[in-house]
Structure formats: C-alpha cells, structure tokens
Amino acid sequence: LRALGFVEKSKTKTARLFLEHKKNWLSAVELEKQGIQRPTSPEYLPHNFKGGTESAIKNYKKQVADTRNQIRILTYQEPKIKAPYTKNYDYDGITPKKQAALNNYRRDYNAQFERIRLENKSDIRNLKTEELNYRHKLGLAYDSILSHRIAGKGDQYAAIRKAISDIRQSFYGH
C-alpha cells in the first residue's frame, strides 16, 4: 500500500517517539512534585484531533513550548520604573529633603517590585497547570500512536510495549 501511495511512511521512528514520551512523562512528574495538579478527566484523549495523532502530538508540543516560554518571560520580568534607582545614597552632603525623597522612592520601588513578583508567581503557577494539561494530552497522544504502531509487531517492540504500560500505570492511573 505504501508503494501505491495509499499509506504514508511514518516520519518519526517508534523508538524516538518512545524517548520523547518518556521525557515528557518525566517533565510532567516534575511539575506534579511542585504541587501542580494533573487533569483527571478523560476529555483529553486526542483521538478526535483534526489531522490525526501525529498532528495532535505536534500541536501539544507547540502548546507546551509556548507555555514554557511564557513562564520564562514572567520569571525574569522586572517592574518598569522610569527614574533611576540608586541603592547606596547614604553619603555626606545629601539634604534631608533629598534623603526623604530617596527613601520614599526606594519604598515605592520595593512595593511595586513585590506586587509584580506576587502577580508573576500566581501567573506562573497557572501557566504550569496549563503546561501539565498539555503534557497530559501529549502523553495520551504518544500512548495512542505508540500502541497503534507496535500492535501486531510481535516481540519486536516488547520492551517498548512494557515501558509504555509502566508509564500508563504510574502516571495516568490506568
């Protein structure tokens, strides 16, 4: 059928897909260790994804990468403050008025920085939850495509079949 063009040859080898699946699973486990809750609903099955399972995998990988980039941006975000901030302003010759102004500025800067830090912390947690959801969807898509690929292959992929079964039992709970 492949020679006649009815069936396309797989662009991704089975062993590489399994390694990607394992790496994704380990990343998801790491997020769970941080206290992020994984989804329990079966609605994340990718079987109805337009374009098939390989297309679903590509989409979910993109979503994971996007959320990781947003987390990276928020992690290094600094507050936008227009005036310069000098930490060491206690020197001879400064007027009490200037000292008070610098103290107020420093207090405002610290308050704004703390507000942004807390907002970012909340946003990062939400993004990590979103990332775990996409990692869960990605894991199910990997399960689907790998199960389909190794079905009927006999003992050729016995080790991969066993490893997929272990991943399902330890992470997905079925």
Which of these, 19, 52, 7, lies nearest to 145 by C-alpha position?
Answer: 52
Predicted pLDDT of residue 84: 47
Domain regions of the chain by residue span: 49-172
User: What are the CB-based long-range contacts (under 8 Å, 24+) for 80-84?
Assistant: 81/109, 81/112
Q: pLDDT value at position 61?
A: 92
pTM above 0.75, yes or no: no
The pLDDT tens digits of the residues spanning 2-59 come to: 666 665 566 667 888 888 999 999 999 899 898 888 766 655 555 556 667 788 888 8
Place of tokens 């107020």: 104
Each residue's pLDDT tens digit, 67-90: 999 988 887 776 665 554 455 555
